[in-house]
Structure 1
Amino acid sequence: MATLDRNFEINKTEEEWRQVLTPEQFRVLRQHGTERAGTSPLDKQYGEGVYHCAACEQPLFTSDAKFNSGTGWPSFFSPIEGAIATTVDRSFFMTRVEVHCSRCGGHLGHVFEDGPAPTGQRYCMNGVSLKFEPAAS
């Protein structure tokens, strides 16, 4: 897991991001917001495929790493290698590890140490920051 580097492969101005993202995607991906639990259809998506960054289309997670955490957010036990970066989030009077897309810096969610084997990690992602691409049949 890499620490977030402010030099991204994809850099856009705030206005350019607003032109390509919905208002909710912009709030979550660019302003570190959180969607309400249970609002993303991706939480209950269990088909085979790949979850991409909604901002830059980088592949982030595969369906093989997805599990039902019961939290109301899509959850994964590991990302695709090199796809994410992290920072420390000290908002709301707590310390958490914030997960970002390594390509564009978009805020995806947080990672916790209470996930299933084999990693013991729970990547709790905002569904609005993801795009699901079903596997080809």
Structure 2
Amino acid sequence: MTKETTGTVPVQKTDDQWREELTPEEYQVLRKAGTERPYTGEYWDTKTAGVYQCRACGSELFTSSEKFDSHCGWPSFFAPLSEGKVRYLHDRSMGMDRIEVRCANCDSHMGHLFEGEGFDTPTDQRFCINSVSVKLVPSESASADGAK
């Protein structure tokens, strides 16, 4: 699952089109593989039930059912919504050896995948995702109990 995936993606736009559609922060993270500071993103501590979509193309990538608190300052998931929703690239930037997670539909940067950290989850994987990369669509059964 953590092998590098290749191939073309269905949604392809020019750099100018992405710049027009995304905010400067979204563009920096989604298209330039940037990151937001920990504990500053909209969803790092959200408990609301729903589906997390790619902020660039709307593809459904993760659900609140797979979200867990990893205490890292970014939203963490132990698995994507289903196989083929994300793609993986080997990332050797910033002096690290990591697995980059991208949207399989539009190739936008989501974050990174870490394995073997000992979390008590079904996969022992942590998809560390930037809040600015996703948009939470609350489920209709989500209550208005004050959760973000």
Shared topology, TM-score over 0.5? yes
Higher CA-based Rg: 2
Q: What secondary structure does 2:90 align onto?
A: strand
> How far apart are the structure 2 equivalents of 1:10 and 1:84?
13
Distance 1:91 1:85, change over 3 A: same
Q: What secondary structure does 1:45 align onto?
A: coil
Establish whether residue 116 from structure 1 lines up as the match of residue 120 from structure 2. Answer: yes
Partner of 1:131: 135
Give the structure-1-normalised TM-score.
Answer: 0.95
Establish whether residue 85 from structure 1 lines up as the match of residue 87 from structure 2. Answer: yes
Establish whether residue 7 from structure 1 lines up as the match of residue 8 from structure 2. Answer: yes
Counterpart selection for 1:104 from 103, 106, 111: 106
Measured on the aligned residues, the alpha-carbon RMSD in Å equals: 1.2
Letter in 1 for 2:26: Q
Kindly provide the CA deviation profile for residues 75-130 of structure 1, in whole angstroms up to 9, marking residues without a partner as x: 00000112100000001111000000000000000000124321000000000000
Give % identity. 46
> How far apart are the structure 2 equivalents of 1:116 and 1:41?
24
Greater than 3 Å deviation, 4+ residue runs: 1-4
Give the structure-2-normalised TM-score.
Answer: 0.88
> How far apart are the structure 2 equivalents of 1:111 and 1:10?
23
> How far apart are the structure 2 equivalents of 1:116 and 1:13?
41
Equivalent pairs, count: 137
